[in-house]
Amino acid sequence: MTLGDVLPSLRSSLPPRGVDRELWPLTTAHGRAGLSVGGVPLVEIEQEYGTPAYVLDEADVRERCTAYAAAFGPAQVYYAAKALLSRGLLRWIDEAGLGLAVYSTGQWRLALAAGFPPERIVVHGDVDARGAGRVVIESAADIARLTCTRRPLRQRVMLRLLPAQLGFTAPGLPACPSEDRFGVPTAGAELAALVDEITSSPLLELAGLDVYLGSQLAQFGGYEHAITQLIAACAELRRTHGVRIEEINLGGGFAVAHPGQDSTLPVDPFAARMRRVLSLACDRAGVPRPRLSVTPGRAVVARAGVALYRVLAVRHEPGHQLVAVDGGLSDNPRPALYGARYTAVLVGRPSHADTVPTTVVGRHDETGDVLVRDEPLPGDLRPGDLLAVPGCGAYHFPLASNYDLVGRPPLIAVREGRARLLVRRETLDDILRRDAA
Ligand X SMILES: Cc1ncc(COP(=O)(O)O)c(C=O)c1O
Least distance between ligand X and beta carbon 12 (Å): 36
Least distance between ligand X and beta carbon 394 (Å): 6
**What is the SS3 assignment for 213-228?**
CCCCECCCHHHHHHHH
Least distance between ligand X and beta carbon 262 (Å): 12
Q: Which is nearer to ligand X, 181 or 320 (CB)?
A: 181
* CA–CA distance, 114 with 366 (Å, rounded to integer): 38
Q: Please state the φ and ψ torsions of residue 78, each to the nearest 5 degrees.
A: -105, 110
Q: Which is nearer to ligand X, 57 or 375 (CB)?
A: 57
* CA–CA distance, 74 with 248 (Å, rounded to integer): 15
Least distance between ligand X and beta carbon 396 (Å): 12
* CA–CA distance, 366 with 34 (Å, rounded to integer): 33
Q: Please state the φ and ψ torsions of residue 227, each to the nearest 5 degrees.
A: -60, -45
Least distance between ligand X and beta carbon 414 (Å): 22
Q: Which is nearer to ligand X, 265 or 387 (CB)?
A: 265
Q: Which is nearer to ligand X, 10 or 182 (CB)?
A: 182
Name beta bridge partners: 205: 156
Least distance between ligand X and beta carbon 349 (Å): 35
* CA–CA distance, 243 with 186 (Å, rounded to integer): 15
Q: Which is nearer to ligand X, 228 or 295 (CB)?
A: 295
* CA–CA distance, 67 with 81 (Å, rounded to integer): 18
Q: Which is nearer to ligand X, 30 or 82 (CB)?
A: 82
DSSP 395: S
Contact (CB, 8 A) for 231 and 281: yes
Q: Which is nearer to ligand X, 72 or 254 (CB)?
A: 254
Q: Which is nearer to ligand X, 18 or 296 (CB)?
A: 296
DSSP 81: G
Nearest to 87 by CA among 413, 351, 376, 371: 413
Least distance between ligand X and beta carbon 29 (Å): 27
DSSP 23: T
Least distance between ligand X and beta carbon 176 (Å): 9
Contact (CB, 8 A) for 334 and 395: yes
Least distance between ligand X and beta carbon 269 (Å): 17
Q: Which is nearer to ligand X, 299 or 392 (CB)?
A: 299
Contact (CB, 8 A) for 231 and 287: yes
Encoded amino acid at 88, one letter:
G
- Residues found near ligand X in the complex (CB under 6 A): 80, 82-83, 101, 124, 212, 215, 251-254, 295-299, 394
SS3 316: strand
Give the count of beta carbons closer than 10 Å to the beta carbon of residue 197.
15
Residue 116, burial from CB neighbour count under 10 angstroms (0-12, 13-18, 19+): buried
Contact (CB, 8 A) for 405 and 431: yes
